[in-house]
Amino acid sequence: MNPESAISQTKDTRVELAGNRAVQAEQQSPYLRLFKSNVFVRDYDRALKFYVDQLGFSVLAESRFEFGRWMAIAPPDGSAILAVVAPKRGSERYKLIGRPTQIAFIAEDIFATYDLWLSRGVRFLHPPQPQLWGGTMAVFCDADQNSFDLLGSDEMSREIEAQRRANAERLESERRLAQELEIAKQVQARLFPQTFPALRTLDYAGACIQARHVGGDYYDFFALGEEKVGLFVGDISGKGIAAALLMANLQANLRSQFALAREQPQRFLQSVNRLFFENTADSAYATVFFAEYDDIAQRLRYTNCGHLSGLLLRQDGAVEWLRSTGTVLGLFREWESPSVECQLTPGDTLALYTDGVTESFGDGEEEFGEERLIESLKRHRGQTAHSTVMSVIRDVQRFSPQEQHDDITLIVAKCRAGA
């Protein structure tokens, strides 16, 4: 390859790479806005009075630095920040006081703004005057003789009005969305169990703390006759509204097939799986843990459908993991899984949970994890089931004080001696 061809190819490669970077930057659309423009003043308090009382600006922040005092202010629409700085006398910045700032404000009605500010004592070098570029301009000074341009333009006014309407529509849309999400949150809250079938030998409770207004975690309790109760916890694939809709679908399927759970628990889950498979997208699924507790025999029979292992803390401190017995629900038309039985004795504690508990991150990017969950359950085992649920959730939230990223769902059931 001759040198000219090599140079040409190198240039082409650079252009292509630059173009790729430009396309990537455009696709990523990183947030960017004008932060501030500096105005230097002699007397900080006098400047504050001028910009706030006479121009109607609002103060966003105030600070003291080695170079002097600093104040961030914004015009009524808050679209930009003006940094008012009182530098030390004799400094280079102090020499900039009293000069044209090259800062211009745009007014929707320049004459109305001129009259308002004039009535407040703002000194103008000249009133609004037509300009060659088709707009109108006035020049005013602050208390330190820093000068600013005040601009007006029919075309700009139309643009301002269009932006105002767009912002108003956006705010109204956000208000309606927030209202609809709040209604959805209230509706979803009613899908969680409202009653708790009473048992002589089991104290149980559950809670779901959603990361957003609505979520995809679900837990429930079923009365399976006078002496039995079903404990159910599920985690829907996805997050937010989509997961909440799938959760509502799963809840409806569970309730519609509830009668089967009394006599044929295996067919119950098979039927729920078939309905969930037929009524959702191909990629939708749920991990589920379903357990049936016999109040007379104090026996637990469970099916773990691809869910996290249940934790059974024995009275003597030993821990048993109730691991997965089959695959998730909703991903395959045909589904089956064996049930496993285990005997409970007074003092044993069962915990069912979703990954929002164990995968909550602390400050060091370390997960709360199973071991901390077990320690928390042991620490609060002397409390009632409800108190234990809330205490463990508080432990998780203290460990992960930042914004919650996943739903936190926990069921605790404690075996006790019959009355």
Residue ranges covered by each domain of the chain: 37-158, 183-415
pLDDT of residue 252: 76
pLDDT tens for 176-217 read 887 777 776 676 666 677 777 889 999 999 998 887 766 678
Q: What are phi and psi of 5, to 5 degrees?
A: -65, -40
pLDDT at 272 over 80: yes
Q: Which of 162-171, 172-181, 253-262, 363-372 has the highest mean pLDDT?
A: 363-372
Q: Which of 1-10, 11-20, 128-137 has the highest mean pLDDT?
A: 128-137
pLDDT at 89 over 70: yes
Single pTM value for the model: 0.60
Write the single-letter amino acid at 20: N
Q: Which of 85-94, 162-171, 261-270 has the highest mean pLDDT?
A: 85-94
pLDDT of residue 399: 92
SS3 155: helix
pLDDT of residue 65: 65
Looking up tokens 């990361």, which residue turns up? 211
Q: How many CB atoms lie within 10 A of CB 321?
A: 12
Q: Which of 164-168, 260-264, 266-270, 336-340 has the highest mean pLDDT?
A: 336-340
Q: Which has more pLDDT, 100 or 260?
A: 100
Q: With contact defined as beta carbons under 8 Å apart, do 249 and 256 qualify?
A: no
28-32, 290-294, 358-362 — which is least confidently predicted? 28-32
Q: Does domain 37-158 have CATH number 3.10.20.30?
A: no
Burial class for 258, CB neighbours closer than 10 Å (0-12, 13-18, 19+): middle
Q: What is the mean pLDDT of the chain?
A: 83
pLDDT of residue 385: 95
Supply the DSSP symbol for 27. H
Domain at 183-415: CATH code: 3.60.40.10
pLDDT of residue 142: 94
Burial class for 161, CB neighbours closer than 10 Å (0-12, 13-18, 19+): exposed
Q: How far apart are the first and last CA of the chain?
A: 94
Q: How many CB atoms lie within 10 A of CB 206?
A: 23
pLDDT of residue 23: 47
pLDDT at 2 over 50: no
**99 CB contacts (<8 Å, ≥6 apart)?**
146, 147
For residues 417 and 200, give the distance between their C-alpha atoms in angstroms, rounded to a whole number.
Answer: 8
**What is the rounded average pLDDT of the residues 397-413?**
88
Give me 328's structure tokens: 């998730």
